[in-house]
Amino acid sequence: MSTIAVSEKTAAQHLFSLPVIVAALGYFVDIYDLQLFGIVRIPSLLALGLTLDQADAIGIEILDYQMIGLLLGGIFWGTLGDKKGRLSVLFGSIITYSLANIACGLIPYIGFMDKIEAYKWLRFIAGVGLAGELGAGITLVSEILPKNLRAIGTSLVAGIGLMGAVVGTFTVRLSGDWTIAYFIGGGLGIMLLLLRVGVIESGMYKDITNRKSVIKGNFLAFFTNRERFIKYMKCIGIGLPTWFCMGILAYQSNQFGKALGVVGLVEPGLAIMWGYIGVSAGDLMSGFISQRLHSRKKAIAYMMSFSLAGVLLFLFGGFKTPEALYALCCWLGLGTGYWAMFVTVGAEQFGTNLRATAATTIPNFVRGALVPMNLLFLAFKPSVGVIMAGFLVGAICFSIGFYSTLTIPETHGKDLDFLEE
């Protein structure tokens, strides 16, 4: 009996250690700020003088700026995390996106340039900053936790963190002003910096810090070795369905609601909120599912199948009320709650000298993939309509997702103390 008690206590101490707690809170603020534009997209652009149709079109353009920032920021912070340490990214990224979000709250008072143009570039800068948080946090947690607790630990980080989108929605509604929501997001980030002071660097990373022969953070290394390149692309492929569900179906749920003949107004902010309630629950579950199945791949494949069923119901189920679409967004979120597992798989596939680069760039390439998804959606829409355009983009994303999941090497229980040559 005493042995069991000690074992349980030790596991709890690992899972609720300061690095895990800080990584979870950091991701919470990250997701709050990342999703905030999606939540305030329509009201903020209407407040800046655009019509509803203009707000839809310009909103997608601003979102693309944010996603391109995420993509480029992923490369920058990822290589920095391997060259200078995981903590340098956690500090630098949060300063960048916190200041950018505070500046977004000041957009109505900008007089030296066009407000919409300023909005685009500030979301780009915010995207660059937001790119570093998740990868560095997951890498740090993966390296400090015992391998039998990695999946649960990273699920806790993502499950708690993803509730930031829910809090973002309530913040906007309770504050009554989209600018205040940006100020709060920036302020939360600055406060988080104080918690970060006590977090220690990963021991695995410390071991290679002074080894000059080890090349760290070489992003091009993913493209110079065929086997490594294929693994890297499959890691990205696994994540594509997640951003299709959120970035196309939930973000643009007002368009789909109109095309489906929904009676009543469909609010993208509420669709995103319910989607992320599902994602948060799914992420908390995914680690335990993976642990139970002794497989990352099976857990992801089952959850991806569940989300695909939700997509088909969303597009072809014939639901006619906003509440039904919000419920389906929650279903989609629950299925795509393998996000933490997908990022963990990306971290586990590669050696310590490239791990932060992989774990940071992979999710941000997936986020950046929303740009071509939007372009495809817009290209298909005139000829086949909103519903079939969504279906075609989804078919591409899920086909790549299933293939990548089923063919990538299994990493459950893998020892992470190795290097890439």
Q: What is the pLDDT of residue 12?
A: 76
Long-range interactions of 379-384: CB distance < 8 A, separation 24+: none
- Cβ partners under 8 Å of residue 410, min gap 6: 295, 296, 297
- Cβ partners under 8 Å of residue 126, min gap 6: 33, 37, 66, 69, 96, 97, 100, 101, 104
Q: Which domain holds residue 328?
A: 16-197+222-407
Structure tokens that stand for 371 in this block: 């740009």
DSSP, residue by residue, 159-212:
HHHTTHHHHHHHHHHHHS-HHHHHHHHHHHHHHHHHHHTTPPPPHHHHHHHT-T
Distance CA 355, CA 380 (A): 37
SS3 state at 111? coil
Confidence of residue 6 (pLDDT cuts 50, 70, 90): very low
In a domain, 217, yes or no: no
In a domain, 61, yes or no: yes
CATH of residue 321: 1.20.1250.20
Confidence of residue 297 (pLDDT cuts 50, 70, 90): very high
Q: Is the predicted pLDDT of residue 5 greater than 60, yes or no?
A: no
How many domains in the chain? Answer: 1
Only one residue has tokens 């569900």, namely: 245
Q: What is the pLDDT of residues 80-95, one digit of tens each?
A: 877 877 667 777 888 8
The answer to whether the CB of 9 falls within 8 A of the CB of 143 is no
In a domain, 282, yes or no: yes
**What average pLDDT does the structure give for the chain?**
86
Residue 233 to residues 79, 96, 360, 370, Cα–Cα distance (Å): 17, 28, 14, 16
CA atoms within 13 A on the CB side of 281: 14
In a domain, 418, yes or no: no
pTM over 0.95: no
In a domain, 345, yes or no: yes
In a domain, 210, yes or no: no
How buried is 112 (Cβ within 10 angstroms: 0-12 exposed, 13-18 middle, 19+ buried)? exposed
In a domain, 213, yes or no: no
In a domain, 48, yes or no: yes
